[in-house]
């Protein structure tokens, strides 16, 4: 599942007329990098949720054929936050653990790592703390993600979840973090620290920097 329902307030005015995942960085739109990377490892059945200007997402990406994928959409109308958005999409995601990626990040993370059997109810990819999140989010202790610890890392927005993580949840708007923290307290969340390239494209300035980098790469290749 690729999360694409956010309003992108910090990206305004760019997102007034374009959904954030459809903004371009280098030769492609942000969400297209994820589609191609997932399809390349055989993850071809992909669900995309949307709210703000969601019709544009469907019109632009279509059924996913040109990316080697099969896309289904989970429209929300009003964004349901991460937890609510995933919960609504569960009927499309099936009974097995599934990958979830934020549509507004860019990374060279090797997604094939996420195909390993899930140990618990969730697996999170953590990264070094960027300047806008110096405190970090979670600790990684002997392969397990914990709510607190001596050193905190940033959650990348990339993870694997078992449907059972959402047991007891109800339709509507709710965040994912409380569900994860509860599972962490039971030792049911594994994790890894990725030290490669990752950017949370949360502001026009960050998008501009990423665009310059990826444009230069494309020119050199």
Report the DSSP pairing between strands 98-102 and 28-29.
Answer: unpaired
Ranges in the chain, pLDDT < 70: 8, 221
Q: Given this model, what pLDDT does residue 149 score?
A: 92
Collect all residues with Cβ–Cβ distance below 8 Å to 27 and sequence separation of at least 6.
Answer: 214, 215, 218
Q: Given this model, what pLDDT does residue 69 score?
A: 96
| Nearest alpha carbon to residue 61 among 11, 112, 100, 4 | 4
Q: Given this model, what pLDDT does residue 221 score?
A: 61
- Host domain of residue 198: 2-220
Q: Given this model, what pLDDT does residue 29 score?
A: 94
Q: 218 burial class (0-12, 13-18, 19+ CB within 10 angstroms)?
A: exposed
Please report, rounded to a whole number, the percentage of residues in the chain having pLDDT higher than 70.
Answer: 99
The CATH number linked to 151 is 3.90.550.10
Q: Given this model, what pLDDT does residue 8 score?
A: 66
Peptide bond into 112 cis (omega under 30): no
Q: For 128-152, what is each residue's pLDDT tens digit?
A: 999 989 999 999 999 999 999 989 9
CB 88 within 8 A of CB 51: no
Q: Given this model, what pLDDT does residue 16 score?
A: 80
Task: Provide the sign of the torsion angle of the four alpha carbons 199, 40, 125, 185, taken in this order.
Answer: positive
Q: For 24-49, what is each residue's pLDDT tens digit?
A: 999 999 999 999 999 999 999 999 99
Total domain count, the chain? 1
| Nearest alpha carbon to residue 158 among 123, 183, 132, 197 | 123
């Amino acid at each position: 599942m690729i999360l694409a329902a956010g309003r992108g307030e910090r990206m305004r005015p760019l997102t007034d007329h374009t959904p954030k995942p459809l903004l371009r960085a280098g030769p492609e739109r942000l969400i297209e990098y994820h589609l191609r990377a997932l399809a390349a490892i055989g993850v071809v059945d992909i669900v995309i949720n949307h709210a703000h200007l969601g019709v544009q997402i469907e019109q632009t990406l279509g059924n996913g054929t040109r990316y080697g994928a099969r896309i289904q959409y989970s429209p929300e109308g009003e964004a349901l936050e991460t937890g609510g958005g995933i919960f609504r999409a569960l009927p499309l995601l099936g009974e097995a653990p599934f990958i979830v990626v934020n549509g507004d990040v860019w990374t060279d993370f090797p997604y094939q790592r996420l195909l390993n059997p899930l140990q618990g109810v969730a697996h999170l990819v953590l990264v070094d703390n960027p300047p806008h999140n110096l405190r970090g989010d979670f600790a990684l202790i002997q392969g397990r993600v914990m709510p607190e610890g001596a050193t905190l890392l940033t959650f990348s927005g990339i993870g694997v979840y078992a449907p059972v993580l959402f047991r007891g949840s109800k339709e509507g708007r709710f965040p994912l973090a409380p569900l994860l923290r509860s599972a962490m307290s039971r030792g049911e969340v594994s994790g890894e620290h990725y030290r490669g390239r990752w950017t949370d494209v949360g502001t026009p300035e960050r998008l501009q920097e990423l665009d310059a980098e990826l444009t230069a790469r494309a020119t050199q290749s």
